[in-house]
């Protein structure tokens, strides 16, 4: 989903790696299509045109796996996306997700769930973000996915070591969660899983009901409920709860910004043993 400015891809269309030629990986017909929308340079006073990162979804901001079909057809708008074909592992994943939207949706939900370990930064705390990530819409990634009870058990029974549940939780929702998550698991028992957004549940639906739950004090994670503790994020929660379209557009923009992160490979990056912290 989302859009990007032509200035971010113009080198790929006309001067890839300073060769004076377009990227050799681009599908020829798609290259022509993009060249029509993005001229080599804009005229004085002309705004920098915008193009959709996934032309198949376009203005509908549809949540589909067609992105991966475009990667396999060499029709990616961004070079960083096309690079998924340059590695056997990511190529195989692209083929799998292109063939099965359900596999993609479940895996995406899991990834968004892992993002739940990132606390929301507000005001001056967020000013150092090199990519301009938006604390307003990214918590909305919790509209899908699950988390283990062990991650929320303190909130249900011993919030801030008080021996009591979090005072912000809706009482009926607290009872519901307590049924799903006992204070402790028995020996040999697996750590239960609960949905981050019970309204979407196993359907992994991408909706704004997450924000309605925040406003009703029915957030599963404390980090989500904290959106009410700040006037700015509270106002935005109210806006997104009332308008799914506003939420969808801004979420798409946030995902677009994440596209500027190049994948770290070999010794440049690391595979975390525990996703919530560096090794």
3-class secondary-structure state, position 135: coil
Average pLDDT value over all residues in the chain: 79
Q: What is the pLDDT of residue 22?
A: 94
Q: Are strands 3-5 and 193-195 parallel, antiparallel or unpaired?
A: unpaired
pLDDT of 129 higher than 90: no
Calpha distance 248→254 (Å, rounded): 10
Contacts of 197 (CB under 8 A, 6+ apart): 142, 143, 144, 145, 207, 209, 210, 213, 220
Q: What is the pLDDT of residue 251?
A: 72
Q: What is the pLDDT of residue 58?
A: 58
Q: What is the pLDDT of residue 141?
A: 52
Instruction: Pull the structure tokens for residue 63.
Output: 């949540």
Residues comprising the chain, all counted: 279
What does the DSSP 8-state code read for residue 124? G
pLDDT tens, 11-59? 999 999 889 999 998 999 999 999 999 999 888 888 889 898 888 775 5
pTM over 0.85: no
Calpha distance 82→75 (Å, rounded): 8
3-class secondary-structure state, position 41: coil
Q: Which structural domains are found in the chain, ordered by start?
A: 3-99 (1.10.420.10), 138-258 (1.10.420.10)
* Positive or negative: CA dihedral 139, 143, 149, 153: positive
Strands (E), 158-223: 193-195
Residues annotated within the binding site are 142, 199
Count of Cβ atoms closer than 10 Å to residue 232 Cβ: 12
- Token pair 């606390």 is found at 119
What does the DSSP 8-state code read for residue 246? H
Of the given ranges (28-37, 54-63, 112-121, 270-279), which has the lowest mean pLDDT?
Answer: 112-121
Name the packing angle between helices 231-242 and 244-258 (round to 10°): 120
Residues annotated within the binding site for heme b are 142
Q: What is the pLDDT of residue 137?
A: 43
Residues annotated within the binding site for Ca(2+) are 199
Q: What is the pLDDT of residue 261?
A: 60
Mean pLDDT of 159-168: 92
Calpha distance 91→76 (Å, rounded): 13
3-class secondary-structure state, position 16: helix
Distances (CA, A) of 81 to 45, 119, 210: 31, 27, 29
pLDDT of 134 higher than 50: no
Q: What is the pLDDT of residue 20?
A: 93
pLDDT tens, 185-213? 888 889 999 988 887 766 666 677 888 89
* Positive or negative: CA dihedral 256, 260, 263, 268: negative
């Amino acid at each position: 989903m989302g859009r990007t400015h032509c200035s971010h891809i113009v080198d790929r269309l006309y001067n890839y790696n300073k060769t004076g030629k377009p990227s050799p990986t681009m599908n020829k017909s798609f290259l022509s299509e993009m060249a029509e929308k993005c001229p080599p340079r804009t005229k004085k006073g002309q705004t920098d045109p915008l193009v959709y990162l996934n032309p198949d979804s376009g203005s509908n901001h549809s949540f589909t796996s067609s992105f991966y079909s475009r990667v396999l057809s060499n029709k990616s708008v961004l070079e960083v996306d096309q690079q998924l074909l340059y590695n056997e592992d990511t190529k195989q994943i692209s083929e799998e997700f292109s063939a099965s939207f359900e596999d993609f949706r479940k895996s995406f939900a899991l990834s968004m769930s892992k993002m739940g370990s990132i606390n929301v930064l507000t005001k001056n705390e967020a000013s150092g973000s090199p990519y301009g990530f938006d604390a307003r819409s990214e918590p909305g990634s919790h509209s899908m996915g699950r988390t283990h009870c062990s991650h929320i058990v303190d909130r249900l029974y011993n919030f801030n070591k008080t021996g009591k549940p979090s005072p912000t939780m809706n009482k009926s929702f607290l009872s519901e969660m307590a049924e799903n998550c006992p204070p402790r698991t028995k020996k040999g028992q697996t750590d239960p899983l609960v949905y981050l957004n019970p309204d979407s549940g196993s359907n992994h639906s991408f909706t704004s009901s997450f924000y309605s739950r925040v406003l009703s004090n029915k957030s599963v994670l404390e980090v989500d409920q904290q959106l009410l503790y700040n006037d700015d994020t509270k106002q935005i929660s109210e806006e997104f709860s009332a308008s799914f379209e506003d939420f969808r557009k801004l979420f798409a923009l946030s995902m677009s910004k994440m596209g500027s992160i190049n994948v770290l490979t070999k010794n440049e990056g690391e595979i975390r043993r525990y996703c919530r912290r560096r090794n």
